[in-house]
Chain A
Amino acid sequence: AQSVTQLDSQVPVFEEAPVELRCNYSSSVSVYLFWYVQYPNQGLQLLLKYLSGSTLVKGINGFEAEFNKSQTSFHLRKPSVHISDTAEYFCAGIRMDSSYKLIFGSGTRLLVRP
């Protein structure tokens, strides 16, 4: 099945602590991978993307992600989180057909506590 899996539905963390949000993709998803962030009552905003080249990708707001082909993973990391990072984070990949359609994971809610 075509899938992008986010294992954690919610990740609580204290402010200024590091965080990792996990994402794994199946072989039926291409290696064009994205992370989106959704703040309360808003749409999804592109955080970063991996298309090719360096496996470490830097995005907005201090986030970065590492593409790992052998582990079929694309985990999102931030070394020190802010209260304002509290949001829903979605991993997505392009379907392995000619449609270029995005498949989304189920999302991970990052809850940053003071």
Chain B
Amino acid sequence: ETGVTQTPRHLVMGMTNKKSLKCEQHLGHNAMYWYKQSAKKPLELMFVYSLEERVENNSVPSRFSPECPNSSHLFLHLHTLQPEDSALYLCASSQEGEVNYGYTFGSGTRLTVV
């Protein structure tokens, strides 16, 4: 499989649940990103991992916890979420320092918090 794969595609969870989103890239990239896309709002960059180290955290609440065990995998652990956290969560990857190819995105996980 090539590209960036996100699972699950859809997730419904209660506010007291704990769940995880998974992202896997097969492009040999060394940087990975989590974005949040809410209705009628710009794409929000949440976390950036470069060479498996978190290099950026844009004031994201602690109920979102990222994990990057290796350069191919990125997780977003979720716990005690709020209804306003319902959104499309997009993962992307890139080759750090190379602008030629931009970012490659996964298809996203549609999260609904009830």
Given contacts A43-B90, A90-B43, A107-B42, contact A100 B103 (CB under 8 A): no
**Which B residues lie at the A interface, using CB under 8 A?**
4, 6, 41-43, 45, 48, 55-56, 90, 92, 94, 96-108, 110
* Pair A43/B102 contact, Cβ less than 8 Å: no
Q: Does A106 contact B (CB under 8 A)?
A: yes
Beyond A41-B110, A43-B90, A43-B105, whether A51 also contacts B42 by CB under 8 A is no
Known contacts A43-B4, A43-B90; A102 and B103 CB within 8 A of each other:
yes
Q: Is the CB of B99 within 8 A of A51?
A: yes
Question: Does A71 sit within 8 A of B, measured CB to CB?
Answer: no
Q: Is A42's CB under 8 angstroms from B99's CB? A: no
**B42, A94: Cβ atoms under 8 Å?**
no
**Contact residues in B for A101 (Cβ distance below 8 Å):** 45, 48, 56
Residues of A contacting B104 with CB < 8 Å?
46
**CA–CA, A100 and B99, complex, Å:** 7
Q: Is A74 an interface residue (CB 8 A)?
A: no
The listed residue (B90, B97, B102, B108) touching A92 by CB distance below 8 A is B102
Contact between B107 and A42, CB atoms less than 8 A apart: yes
Contact in complex: A46, B4 (CB < 8 Å) = no
Listed A/B pairs (13) with beta-carbon separation below 8 Å: A32-B99, A43-B92, A43-B108, A45-B105, A46-B103, A46-B104, A49-B100, A51-B99, A90-B43, A94-B99, A99-B55, A102-B102, A107-B43
Q: With A and B bound together, what is the CA distance between A113 and B102 in angstroms?
A: 31
The residue in chain A whose Cβ has the minimal distance to the Cβ of B4 is A43
Is A63 on the interface with B (CB-CB < 8 A)? no
Q: Is A89's CB within 8 Å of the partner chain B?
A: no
